[in-house]
């Protein structure tokens, strides 16, 4: 295994000693943020091009909205959306590192085997498809392991914990052990799952204590971009929450985040630049 300060994507070592940005590309009509709905090539390709020019290291493609109360998308529809988007991105941007945002094993397999996707980003931690962990072990590409309870339709009804932070640590420890027992030997990236089965207060407790996940000695991904933990707190909207998102990104970096999953790449890169100056590494 390589150092937790790196991940290998499509054979290329990505150095995480300096934080990087993962750009969100949603090929779904019901993403919670209207500014990030890439429903056809006329929107998709300029979105990807802009993200790469602004400094994104990974393009994260998702075809099933996981916002609270999101509509159910059939496996066939998700596969159709994913194939269309990945085909276009590969045609126009070559071997750019791509992540597939899915909780379905079949979609992960399609993305990796047909389009050379480098990373599986599973919001359910293997809970919503019993075949996912075995598929991850078979595909053997890096995996984002996120914390969530329930599913997108029910998760906000699953906010009770015995001990919030201890329960999360136990969740990750058990999932990591399961993946390793299946023979998975690639990098696991821990994602605490902001906004998933958590109240606003729990989200900020989590943000204050992100450093506890360093116990796993694994990269940490944080996704707070324009989420309700920000705009509801400020009586605002996703469209009006960029400034506060940048503030939350800085807090996450100070607590040890390695990867910021964002809608807006340039502002996130600026936050990282300021963080590097603050740490004296410019």
CATH superfamily of 7-272: Dihydropteroate synthase-like (3.20.20.20)
Positions marked active-site? 227, 261
User: Considering the entire predicted model, what is its pTM?
Assistant: 0.92
Q: What is the pLDDT of residues 192-242, one digit of tens each?
A: 999 998 999 999 999 999 999 999 999 999 999 999 999 999 999 999 999
Copy the structure tokens of residue 46. Answer: 């300029």
The residue among 82 and 149 whose pLDDT is bigger is 82
Place 69 in a pLDDT band, splitting at 50, 70 and 90.
low
Q: Give the pairing of strands 119-122 and 98-101.
A: parallel
Place 38 in a pLDDT band, splitting at 50, 70 and 90.
low
- Collect all residues with Cβ–Cβ distance below 8 Å to 43 and sequence separation of at least 6: 37
Copy the structure tokens of residue 61. Answer: 């493609």
Domain-wise residue ranges, the chain: 7-272
Report, as an integer, the average pLDDT of 131-141.
97
DSSP conformation class of 71: P
């Amino acid at each position: 295994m390589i150092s937790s300060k790196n991940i290998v994507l499509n054979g290329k070592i990505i150095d995480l000693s300096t934080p990087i940005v993962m750009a969100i590309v949603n090929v779904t009509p019901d993403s919670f943020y209207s500014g990030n709905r890439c429903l056809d090539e006329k929107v998709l390709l300029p979105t990807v091009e802009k993200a790469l020019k602004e400094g994104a290291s990974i393009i994260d493609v998702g075809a099933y909205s996981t916002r609270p109360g999101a509509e159910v998308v059939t496996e066939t529809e998700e596969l159709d959306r994913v194939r269309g988007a990945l085909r276009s991105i590969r045609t126009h941007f070559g071997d750019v590192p791509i992540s597939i945002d899915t909780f379905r094993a079949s979609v992960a397999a399609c993305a990796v085997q047909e389009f050379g996707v480098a990373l599986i980003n599973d919001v359910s931690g293997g809970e919503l498809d019993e075949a996912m962990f075995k598929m991850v072990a078979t595909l053997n590409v890096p995996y984002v392991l996120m914390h969530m309870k329930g599913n997108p339709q029910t998760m906000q009804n699953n906010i009770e914990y015995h001990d919030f932070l201890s329960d999360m640590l136990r969740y990750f420890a058990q999932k990591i052990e399961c993946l390793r027992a299946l023979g998975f030997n690639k990098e696991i990236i821990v994602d605490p799952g902001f906004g998933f089965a958590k109240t606003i207060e729990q989200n900020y407790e989590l943000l204050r204590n992100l450093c506890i996940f360093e116990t796993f000695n694994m990269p940490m991904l944080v996704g707070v971009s324009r989420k309700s933990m920000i705009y509801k707190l400020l009586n605002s909207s996703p469209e009006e929450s960029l400034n506060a998102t940048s503030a939350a990104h800085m807090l996450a970096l100070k607590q040890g985040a390695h990867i910021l999953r964002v809608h807006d790449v340039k502002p996130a890169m600026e936050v990282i630049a300021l963080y590097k100056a603050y740490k004296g590494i410019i």
